Structure 1
Amino acid sequence: MAIATLGVTVLDCPNPRELAAFYAAVLDWRIDDDGDPDGEWIELVGPNGPQLAFQRSVGYQPPRWPSTEQPQQFHLDFQVPRERMDAAEKEVIRLGARLLEDDHGGKRNWRVYADPVGHPFCLCAC
């Protein structure tokens, strides 16, 4: 028997509403900020309820990927059909992501990006 179940994954950031909007567009999930009118904590509701949240962190410093001086600590992987990888890349960049590392000419099944505040994430071919 499990001791607990996983709730929501939380990302620190300077502006929770802005970062939530980025991930809401990537995932086509709904933003729920009803519980916090000050915008200190914003949740994204996916098909299984709240799954990502964003909390304001005063003095936030983004990870420096792939450096260990300010390590990524964790990253998110998003699955994308292989034939949609190029289109998905264009969309996340349009939304404010930046490419950190490509798929080495198709030799790997993933590409690494930074979200608008620097958290690394991958688009992974499935």
Structure 2
Amino acid sequence: MATVETAILVLDSGEPEQLAAFYAGLLGEEVAYNPQADRFETAGASGTRLGFRRDAGFAPPSWPRPDDAHQTHLELLVAEGDMDAAERAAITGGARPVDTQRGGTHEVRLYSDPAGHTFALRTH
């Protein structure tokens, strides 16, 4: 029997309120402050939960990394016909395009969020 109930991905940021609002806008979720964990969190009907913690010394990750090193990134799944609308919403919210990969069985578009974390919009 598992003792862990759920998982939450927590991203550090110099401005966690703004980063939480960015992801809440993309996911159609609400933002709340969690005083027990001292962070902002998003939650919604999809079941996705993200946390955003303040880090006064935060330095954004770089992309691409030297030597093709991999970083943790968030994948946001998008229905086949909705990729362009999802991209517009991301960029309007403050995302910056990093790379696009078209081909294969899925389309993937990479961005950095307003704090510099890499995330992907990916068809499923």
> TM-score, length-normalised on structure 1?
0.83
- Please tell me whether the aligned partners of residues 97 and 115 of structure 1 are also in contact (alpha carbons under 8 angstroms): yes
1:78 maps to a residue whose letter is L
2:85 maps to a residue whose letter is A
In the alignment, the residues of structure 2 paired with residue 48 and residue 85 of structure 1 have an alpha-carbon distance, to the nearest angstrom, of 18
Deviates more, 1:22-31 or 1:47-56: 47-56
2:58 pairs with 1:60: yes
2:25 maps to a residue whose letter is A
Q: Tell me: CA distance 1:91–1:58, structure 2 relative to 1, closer, same or farther (3 Å).
A: same
Where 2:41 maps in the other structure, the secondary structure is strand
- Correspondence list, 1:20-99, <5 A: 20-33=20-33, 35=35, 41-47=39-45, 51-68=49-66, 73-99=71-97
2:52 maps to a residue whose letter is F
In the alignment, the residues of structure 2 paired with residue 90 and residue 48 of structure 1 have an alpha-carbon distance, to the nearest angstrom, of 21
- Please tell me whether the aligned partners of residues 34 and 41 of structure 2 are also in contact (alpha carbons under 8 angstroms): no
Gaps of 5+ in 2: none
Where 2:72 maps in the other structure, the secondary structure is coil
> TM-score, length-normalised on structure 2?
0.84
In the alignment, the residues of structure 2 paired with residue 26 and residue 76 of structure 1 have an alpha-carbon distance, to the nearest angstrom, of 13
Gaps of 5+ in 1: none
Deviations 1:1-32 (A, max 9, x none): 32423332110000111000000100011111
- Ranges of 4+ aligned residues in structure 1 off by more than 3 Å: none
Q: Percent identity?
A: 38
- Please tell me whether the aligned partners of residues 64 and 72 of structure 1 are also in contact (alpha carbons under 8 angstroms): no
2:19 corresponds to: 19
